[in-house]
Structure 1
Amino acid sequence: MDTPNSPISDDENKLAIVSHLLAFSTFIIPFGNILGPLAIYLIKRDESDYVRHHAAEALNFQINMTIYGGISALLIFVLVGFILLPIVLAIDVILTIVAAVRASNNVWYTYPLTIRFID
């Protein structure tokens, strides 16, 4: 993984972690999983490459998971969605936690299964 030339501050580290964990706000606020990382990305993208990377990764992953979840929900009508929807939810939760842990260890984590909309 790429490492920055300058050390990562505690504030940058915390914002990187929060950008991933804000995905769980979707259980309280509709589309909070997208709006949270988007807000961090828009506010900090010019100030820190590390925070920008993690916020963009979280945003891209949550956009993808929302699309996958929507497709799975539609597939409930042909019964396949009853299997796919819990799998998508489990992947979302597990990989979000993995990304937050990696961010806490100053790793420039990249999510798998993700189409990059934001760079």
Structure 2
Amino acid sequence: MKREDRQTLMLTHLSQLLNLVTGIGGLIVPLILWQTQKDTIEDMDEHGKAIMNFQLSMLIYSLICIPLIIVVGLGFIGLIVIGLFTLIFPIVNAIKANNGDPINYPLSIRLIK
């Protein structure tokens, strides 16, 4: 039987902010939490997939912006927007997870279903 643990869901969302400090920790730590807790915590599988899809989408968008810096210069704007998304949406969704509300990561590509 799965248990409800909103605090762990919240911490899983907030662990994405490790990208700001370590560069890749915001992808690895939520992945580990999701894989180890998806069978014991209610809704962890749904939240983990949403987080992984968001992180992978932001990585793909960042890789697209790099050549745009050289070619057009618009890549800087794209990277700033991506940076804001990776800062704001994990915090918003952590609050939603803690309150039991449905989460939403805009512009996420559903790579993991």
Between the two proteins, what is the percent identity of the paired residues? 29
Could you say which residue in structure 2 is the equivalent of 1:101? 95
Residue 53 of structure 1 corresponds to 46
Q: Which residue of 1 aligns with 2:19?
A: 26
Kindly indicate whether the alpha-carbon contact (under 8 Å) linking 1:53 and 1:108 is maintained by their aligned counterparts in 2: no
Letter in 1 for 2:44: V
TM-score of the aligned structures, taking structure 1 as reference length = 0.82
Question: Could you list the runs of 5+ residues in structure 2 that have no partner in the other structure?
Answer: none
Query: C-alpha root-mean-square deviation of aligned residues, in Å?
Result: 2.0
Q: CA deviation at 1:96?
A: 1.5
Q: Deviations over 1:21-79 (max 9, x none)?
A: 11111122231121111001110111223122212211111111111112112211121
State the alpha-carbon separation in 2 of the partners of residues 107 and 46 from structure 1: 20
Gap regions ≥5 residues in structure 1: 1-5
Corresponding residue for 1:17?
10
Residue equivalent to 1:40: 33
Q: Counterpart of 1:74?
A: 67
Equivalent pair of 1:99/1:109 in contact (CA under 8 Å): yes
Q: Does the CA contact (< 8 Å) of 1:50 and 1:108 recur in 2?
A: no
Runs of 4+ in 1 over 6 A off after TM superposition: none
8 A contact 1:69–1:89 mirrored in 2: no
- 1:16 deviates by 0.6
Counterpart amino acid of residue 15 in structure 2: L
Q: Separation in 1 of the partners of 2:78 and 2:84? A: 10
Does residue 1:85 correspond to 2:109, yes or no? no
For normalisation by structure 2, the TM-score amounts to: 0.86
Amino acid corresponding to residue 75 of structure 2 in structure 1? G
